Structure 1
């Protein structure tokens, strides 16, 4: 059954891959319009999901599940932003004459069929569907059981929009049962790329149980380092935003590093501000010793596992480091190559941090919450990749296309260019 769905998706994707930009943009606008017309139904379905999941799932997961009218409106803005982006398909990356009449081109093309598996994130349906259409890909979506009602209505609205365009609605498919997840992971002949979005345990499960290439990140252990040359007001604002603006997000910080030379003054201030926002602190031994001279605060002692934990909640580990080198070492040891930042007025120090921290996103004097496809101007994202090979970081349209080499000749044969009297190649870029 699932094989038939995948094959239908591939046929629709093959047609979609050859549509002109205007047709794809019309389809994306039709999706946005349909989502707006189904807004009340979508919010009602999400309310049903949220009520069923209340007290049954972790707060971080519940926050991701919620899709109210405001969040839906923002997602629809993202759909239209995708429509405004340049078409990533058919871009000529190489145009080269190998010899007279023998011309090589490398052109971007869709990946094919995407399998996107996510937990309680119904807004992912909107982002991924719009990016898939724009990049000429079909997509099979598998949402978490907590979001079944939301995802079902969202896909219904998206398909209704596509039905008014040149894009076959079969390009977007939704799976709803848990057994379909393992079955999807086995479709290496029909699915070209798997994109998991969820907890680190979930992503690792996907990575370990498929032969299909996987694009994603397993952990979101992000850091913020407050340097000795930091502006305190700026450091406080950035720390609070990076931790509390949306603690369930994978780009929220889990560890705060503070230069030892400013810890006497800065540590009590930042702890007071964090606690005012409901943040639970896990503080290193040296931090406790420093606080011993600055009042009687009851703070949990950080243990070894805290430095390697993604809380996705209002919990923050704080470590005191002697210098920049120690900060970089800590980040590169415990980080997940997602997003790490530094707060400093010393541009030389910032440059060293930006160059040496091994992460997909490295920031100076701004919140880690900016590592996001929408905020980067990608319109939306299918996920964030922490792998070394591209695509890396927030993955938008560019991560959903590959390329092919197209060579045109006029009877050329390889034998002409081999042997004692081999003809040389021209290799001239056009």
Structure 2
């Protein structure tokens, strides 16, 4: 009987250990998501970006995509994600993955063809890209989230009857919104309706029917052509960089990871890449541009000149630290607040030194606001001190705050 009891205890311990070994740690989802191009076709390469600030994963940890709609290409590999599902770490808690969705979702365990994937992603009843991000072994996972897709944007563009439209990445809070007011450091895609936009007095559709047609190119520059990327037909790299290409849905588009990336360098006449001296914090007012139609490997016609105004860049506020009450004794509860933290600060740590007593803790919350309340009566009951030194560090150990806080006696 005793032997049986011991055996049961051993089995119970083994079961608990097994359950612990396979327990999955749940984290939050992406704070922000966006794509380049900002408006994309699923049979074209697209880069998805995931800002995992405050999600709970260790900064820079390898993460993998687990997506099950329109198909589940990595099915059966939860505990050992395939290499094709690995994301790239961009820094600042941002991860990316560049895929052609029709190819990605027709590989691995998927039974769908590229055509199946494309057709599914055009329908109104398609549920969208439902995903998690996870560690390779599945020990940690994000919340379920829906990655961006462009179905509604294409429909809106078609209904707008616009010949051309700018779609720049912008956020309302943390929600992705596309706006015509582009900014220097956010993604931008320009979309053209070839039946309405004219080049050389013809619609783009009519222009393509000429026997010597060689494509459409964007001749453009920021701030009234100051930071120029011209169309130089004798330079293959320039022709590729400025190319406006046609999509399966019939529209044309050109995309930039950001105007800064695009206009900070251009092709010199000898084919070399030259800096335009554009600064990452340059004040930009507009984008001057026109479309060049290529005939016989040369400029064969242009559109009218256009000038699109820039929008207002999103500026994240500088950090603000405060505590209350501002007059504090060893018998108070004091609250520390740090707003607008750095993207890589993570969970903050505090250390308090008072007299011969030192104690520590963490300051949880989100990037926008991290806060903690500390019971000084509990921590400093037997301490005699006229002040305490507060030190706050970020996840990497860098000191953010170091300040002395006076401690008043109760009768003061």
**Which protein has greater RCO, CA pairs closer than 8 Å, 6+ apart?**
1
Q: Which structure: greater strand fraction? A: 2
> Under a length normalisation based on structure 1, what TM-score does the superposition of the two structures give?
0.26
- Greater Rg, structure 1 or structure 2? 2
* Structure showing the higher helix proportion among its residues: 1
